[in-house]
Amino acid sequence: MMVAGIGSRKGVNAGEVLAAIETALEAHGLAMTALSALATASVKQDEPAIFSAGRELALPVIVVEDDALKSASSGTLSRSDLSQSKAGTPSVSEASALAAAGQGAKLLGPRTVLGPVTCAIAISGDAA
């Protein structure tokens, strides 16, 4: 399972989310079809652009609850003080991707930042 974790500023549009996902995948030499799901933190569950992007890609959007987000935070590679204060994790995109990809998940690299959107790609631990 491969998950794109999404973080963003308020009010982003679906095009910005899709561009960040595409940029993150390209950085790892992957196609959009490699993704199994999108994920974001519960603090972003009212951000319509993330869900619009999921619909456009025909992928589920997993909303990661706070406890799971915090548990996954120890595996993040990036640190944002704003993310830490607002969402309780150093990286919403990285922690969301890790939590949604499940036990033993690994990030393919640090998050990609494209304007107001961050995207991190995680792969489940069973896909070695």
In a domain, 114, yes or no: yes
- Does some domain include residue 104? yes
**Residue 53's closest CA among 114, 6, 103?**
6
Does residue 115 carry a pLDDT above 60? yes
Distance between CA atoms of 34 and 26, rounded to whole angstroms? 11
Which tokens sit at 9?
Answer: 């500023």
Strands (E), the chain: 2-8, 37-41, 61-64, 106-107, 112-114, 117-123
Distance CA 99, CA 73 (A): 9
**DSSP three-state, residue 119:** strand
- Would the pTM count as exceeding 0.95? no
pLDDT, tens digit (0-9, with 9 covering 90-100), for 51-80: 999 999 999 999 999 999 999 999 999 988
Residue 128 falls within a domain, yes or no?
A: no
Tokens linked to 105: 């998940």
Considering the domain boundaries, does residue 115 fall inside one?
A: yes
Query: What's the confidence (pLDDT) of residue 128?
Result: 44
Under the banding of pLDDT at 50, 70 and 90, the label for residue 86 is confident
On whether residue 40 sits in a domain, the answer given is: yes
State residue 84's pLDDT score: 87
Provide the residue range defining the domain that includes 52. 2-123
Q: How confident is the model at residue 32 (pLDDT cuts 50, 70, 90)?
A: very high
Give mean pLDDT, residues 13-25: 98
Two tokens, residue 49? 């652009």
Residue 80 inside a domain? The answer is: yes
CATH code for the domain in which residue 96 is found: 3.30.420.180
Domain membership of residue 67 (yes or no) is yes
